[in-house]
Amino acid sequence: MTLALTLPTPSAAGWKGLLLGLLLLTLMQASPLRAELSTEEVKASPAVEARLVAIADELRCLVCQNESLSASRADLAKDLRREIRTMIADGKSDQDILDFMVARYGDFVRYRPPFKASTALLWLGPLLFLLGGGLWLRHSLRQRAARTAETAVAPVAAANESQSNVHPAPATTTADSQTAPPAPVRLSRRSAWTLTIALPLLTLLGYAWLGNPLALNPANRRPPDDPAAMARSIEQLAERLQKQPDNQEGWLMLARSYRMLGDDTRAADAFARAGNKAHGSATLLAEYAEVLASRDSSFAGQATTLLSEALGKDPEDGLALFLAGAAAAERGDRAAARKLWQQLLPRVEAGSEAEATLKAAIDRLQQTSAKR
């Protein structure tokens, strides 16, 4: 990661350079929108990348075990992707590559382990559970049927029926003569069938309604791996939101996405449409202020108001502190700028480049104010 180490003059122009350096290092959380594959090693041809993704989707990242090798940012995952690229370039088949991985990391590395003695229980387990459950259900239904029949018969045939109560049929015939209805037997059997059919059906319906069948394909689960695809998905969100002007949550998401892409004008617009939601936290307010200031090349006006609102919510918020300091510097209020940035200092990692940059900026403020 290269740093923009522009030292800020106490004017509007300088703060963005420092912001970049500082933010990248300390304040910014990893953006979920930034896909790993796009920022990685020099890309091979699209065909190789497509094969890499197809293979790596089937493989588990050994470090963050619930992530596939194609989505993981771990160093080892990067190295393994590099290995796979080399093997593809060398003309190895998918099976060769899979064998290479399994030889080193075992079946664990595969999301779909092969069927063999040691994995049989894994594959057949669910089926066994279903079978066992079904048998148990049948057994208990039969028993209950027998018991209801027996109680119906009890007054008359208690003596001669006592040992053959396993099967309901004879009991029912005797019960008929007593005009006791055999209904309970049939009802429980019918409800068993209804349950057997209705339950999976309801599950499927529920999934179709709430779930996303597209997600069953692993290729669709990966984050978009090139900026163009990311921009497209953001455009889709924007289009959808045109029809839902009241969806503040959606607008907020769109605003933050535009901010990530560096589209300040659209980000500012979307933040405005997010209404109350954009005022939800100090960080959000600071982000809103940042895009406004970036768009107008000045903190004057709404950006400054938003920043004081942000610091009112959380006087310790890193981004808000930093931007408020920059805003104060822009106004020429060096004392305030220094104070705000000094508050930020303990939040920056000690000994880091960001700390040095920030200290240099504070020193500079001190010098220029001393000259006056």
Partner 1 sequence: MKQRLIVVALLLGLFAMLALGLRKDPHEIPSPFIGKTAPDFRRPLLTDPQRSFSPADLKGQVWLLNVWASWCSACREEHPALLELSRRRVLPVVGLDYKDETAAAKEWLQQQGNPYGTVVVDPDGKVGIDWGVYGVPETFLIDRQGIVRYKHTGPLTADVLETRLLPLIAELNKP
Phi, psi torsion values for 59, nearest 5 degrees: -115, 150
Residue 177 engages partner 1 in binding (rule: CB under 8 A): no
Contacts of 12 (CB under 8 A, 6+ apart): 297, 298, 299, 330
Contact string (CB under 8 A) for partner 1, positions 47-66, x = contact? ---------------xx-x-
Map residue 247 onto helix, strand or coil: coil
Of 130, 172, 133, 132, residue with least CA distance to 150: 172
Contact segment (CB under 8 A) with partner 1 among 51-59, 77-85, 169-177, 356-364 equals 77-85
Contact segment (CB under 8 A) with partner 1 among 21-29, 99-107, 270-278, 312-320 equals 99-107
Q: How far is the CB of 103 from partner 1 (least distance, A)?
A: 6
**Closer CB to partner 1, 309 or 353, in the complex:** 353
**Closer CB to partner 1, 40 or 309, in the complex:** 40
Q: How far is the CB of 241 from partner 1 (least distance, A)?
A: 40
Question: How far apart (Å, rounded) are the C-alpha atoms in residues 45 and 29?
Answer: 31
Count of positions on this chain that bind partner 1 (CB under 8 A): 16
**Closer CB to partner 1, 90 or 239, in the complex:** 90
Q: How far is the CB of 127 from partner 1 (least distance, A)?
A: 17
For 276, which DSSP code?
G
Residue 111 engages partner 1 in binding (rule: CB under 8 A): no
Q: How far is the CB of 203 from partner 1 (least distance, A)?
A: 21
Question: Tokens 């997010």 correspond to what residue?
Answer: 274
Phi, psi torsion values for 110, nearest 5 degrees: -95, 135
**Closer CB to partner 1, 63 or 208, in the complex:** 63
Is the distance from CB of 358 to CB of 341 less than 8 angstroms? yes
Among 31, 45, 140, 162, binds partner 1 (CB under 8 A): 140
Residue 41 engages partner 1 in binding (rule: CB under 8 A): no
One-letter amino acid of 305: T
Phi, psi torsion values for 207, nearest 5 degrees: -65, -45
Q: How far is the CB of 88 from partner 1 (least distance, A)?
A: 16
Question: How far apart (Å, rounded) are the C-alpha atoms in residues 304 and 16?
Answer: 16
**Closer CB to partner 1, 76 or 229, in the complex:** 76
Among 40, 67, 83, 296, binds partner 1 (CB under 8 A): 83
Torsion from C-alpha of 348, 352, 354, 359, nearest 10 degrees = 80
**Burial status of residue 256 (CB atoms within 10 A of its CB: 0-12, 13-18, 19 or more):** buried
Residue 103 engages partner 1 in binding (rule: CB under 8 A): yes
**Cα 1 off chain centre by:** 25
Residue 79 engages partner 1 in binding (rule: CB under 8 A): yes
Residue 80 engages partner 1 in binding (rule: CB under 8 A): yes
Rounded to 5°, angle at Cα 142 from 140 and 145: 110
**Closer CB to partner 1, 82 or 232, in the complex:** 82
Element (H, E) at 127: helix 120-161
Give contact residues for partner 1 (rule: CB under 8 A): 62-63, 65, 75-76, 79-80, 83, 102-106, 108, 140, 143
